[in-house]
Amino acid sequence: MRMLERIDVAMLPAEAEALEAGAYLVVDVLRATTTIAAMFGAGLRSLNLAASIDVAREMASRDGRLLFGEVGGLPPAGFDYGNSPIDAARAPIQGKDAVLFTTNGTTALCKLAGRGAVLAAAAANATAVARHAAETYESVAVVCAGEEGGLRFALEDFAAAGIIVAALSALAPAAALGDAAALARHTPELDQLIGLSRHARLLRELGLGDDVAFSARVDTSRAVPIVMACGDGWAVLEDLAK
């Protein structure tokens, strides 16, 4: 078994491209990676991500997959569910396949494909993903997806990254922390910071405050979603915990 030696945090996906790591744990906590953790936690068999609504609809129609996603925070016409971890946790999706339309999440996950293993992480599956990473890789970078296609810092992603770094450090206390990882590790009240973010305020204005609260909860899922394949604006994920 490998020993985790170094933990880094990238505040934006572009920064992660300057970090050499065995695994990249991508965080888009409001709400894509939390929804992904909830979907696999509810027994989903496989998941395709799409950065385009047309591609998402085509994938769902072609393969008979359930369709999750949002525009402006709400599910578009014809979608089965929104980009909602609460919807995902309650939906009857055991043994089924789905497509999730998410621009930021898909972009961030695909940006790092080929550099190392790429996993979808959130507060919801922090310990499960951290345990896999600590037992498998010598170096890990926790990557904040950010906003506006990864161009703007997102407080909620940084807060969730801190929760994941804490889980990694608990499992590998001797691992060295990069500067951003040390900042995230020692920032207090990380779960509360998720709810203080601009994105969280916008979701509450849409009546989606329950999703914000759900996304700040730690270890509601044991899923370890990993990117199996990536293309132009799409990705295929499976759950290593199965």
For residue 22, being part of any structural domain is answered with yes
Whether residue 130 lies inside any domain: the answer is: yes
Would you say residue 163 lies in a domain?
yes
Residue 1, in any domain of the structure? no
The total domain count for the chain is 1
pLDDT at 73: 86
Note whether residue 56 is domain-resident.
yes
Q: Does residue 169 lie within any of the structural domains?
A: yes
Mean pLDDT across 127-149: 96
What digits encode the pLDDT tens for the residues 9-24? 999 999 999 999 999 9
pLDDT tens profile 175-204: 999 999 999 999 999 999 999 999 999 999
> pLDDT (tens digit, 9 = 90+) per residue, 32-61?
999 999 999 999 999 999 999 999 999 999
pTM for the model stands at 0.96
What range defines the domain where residue 79 resides?
A: 6-239
Q: In this structure, is residue 34 part of a structural domain?
A: yes
Whole-angstrom distance, CA of residue 111 vs CA of residue 109? 6
pLDDT band at 104 (very low <50, low <70, confident <90, very high): confident
188 lies in some domain: yes
CB within 8 Å of 129: residues ≥ 6 apart = 25, 119, 121, 164, 167, 224
Q: Are 188 and 57 in contact (CB under 8 A)?
A: no
Q: Give the pLDDT confidence score for residue 62 in this predicted structure.
A: 95
- Three-state helix/strand/coil letters over 70-120: CECCECCCCCCECCCHHHHHHCCCCCCEEEEECHHHHHHHHHCECCEEEEE
For residue 31, give the CATH number of its domain: 3.90.1560.10
Given pLDDT bands bounded at 50, 70 and 90, which one contains residue 1?
low
